[in-house]
Amino acid sequence: MSQDDLNAVLKAGTYLVAHSKDRAHNELKSVLLSRLREYHNCIGTSIPSEADTFALERVQRLTAQASLEVLEKCQAILAVEDEEREEPKIGSRDLSELRTLLSVVFNWGTVPLLSRLISSWPDSADRSSREVIDLTDMPENFQMLSDLTSRLLGLLYPASSPTKLPNTHITTSILQYHLSELLRPIIALGWLPSALATGDLHPMLTLRPIVGRLLAVCALVRYLCAPFTNTKY
């Protein structure tokens, strides 16, 4: 993997976060579909033929998934440790793009999916025991959330080095800006209420140890940043 490979991936990602000149005259859904088509054309794939009939939320989720694809490819290039290889360079514009893509993944991916998942959970404080809970979309939401969450964790703990955080701008951005947003779905999936556990829905026990590891990282980051803030720990 080289600088050219990274530049090609970043170029494809720009289509997902590009500013539309005529956005004021278009609905958000149309803008996102246009971006997705340009992105997929760039990488030689295509969006579903029926995408025009999708609800806005689903188009946003497709954008989040595509954004995560870009981040995964960039992380795979940046995280390679090779003393003989010249380290690929990331400019300020590239860094801004990566941060925007991360925000898209969370804001249009994990955050709304987690909200929908939690809204279906039984809550003794708000619901009577006789109330029927609509679980129609639960398996699909659970699967999509678990997929996105697992892939986000793969950015921090890649299969090639599962115990060492990659020293990249993507890793730093997740830890600085999105750690709490990552922890929430991990906890929700790892400790799924027993009332909802079925053959398809079950707690992801493998996620539980990761909470401790991320909290330890969070504590370390706060400790290192303490001298530069007014907060005392």
Domains in the chain, number: 1
Q: Which residue has the higher pLDDT, 183 or 87?
A: 183
Give the range among 58-67, 91-100, 107-116, 185-194 with minimum mean pLDDT.
185-194
Name the CA radius of gyration of the chain, rounded: 20
Q: Does the residue 233 lie in any domain? A: no
Split at pLDDT 50, 70, 90, the class of 138 is: confident
Decide: 183 and 211 in contact? Cβ < 8 Å. Answer: yes
Average predicted confidence (pLDDT) for the chain: 84
User: pLDDT of 75-114, one tens digit each?
Assistant: 999 988 765 677 788 899 999 999 999 999 999 999 999 9
Tokens of 22: 């005529």
Split at pLDDT 50, 70, 90, the class of 222 is: low
Give the range among 52-56, 75-79, 85-89, 224-228 with minimum mean pLDDT.
224-228
Q: Does the residue 153 lie in any domain? A: yes
Q: Which domain holds residue 127?
A: 3-228
Sign of the CA dihedral 218, 220, 223, 228? negative
